[in-house]
A and B are shown apart, each in its own frame.
Chain A
């Protein structure tokens, strides 16, 4: 197998992940895992309302992650928090695994599933929030 190396961007996020930690009074928590590689991810999300273009909009006020996993899993966790923080929840819901991988300058093929972990945790959390409402 040709083993591609991680991009500089992945290593930057791995070295100094953004928004790592817990939000004690999170509105919702999303969790995902991959049984094959054993990696687990948790996203803590705080949702609030503000006026955006004159309209009351629900948005992600704060987001933090906890991840047990490989460098790609940690970097994608960090990247997804950057991508959705401050965004209206409908917009955040549209983030795809390709968005994350692209923002990181790509991932080795064998590590693409790590970005799935991050979007899964996000989508699960937002879905739960919407049905709970």
Chain B
């Protein structure tokens, strides 16, 4: 049986722009994924708690407030501390190329998308990059 890709789409911080997050959530659903949407105003701790309880393969963070350089590294730090480095993390919103580069290189965000990004490209990226070890059986 084919396993569904599970994704958490969250909006960290006090950012009220939720159109992008909703567009992404719908695009991923239409691509056959199961998307847990947690809504606005998530702290990094809430995001990581939800990701662990939901056992998601992917976390998608949408942020247009400008606070990405504090919030996104914090999410990565908590995620690693929880032993969940096998979760793929992608982000989108208003993030400069320079910041995106740092988030990828230094903080392990796999990809960063900006305004106008193609949802097809995002779907393809996720399908190609979900960590395969998440699909291998653990001893029950």
Chain B associates with chain A: no
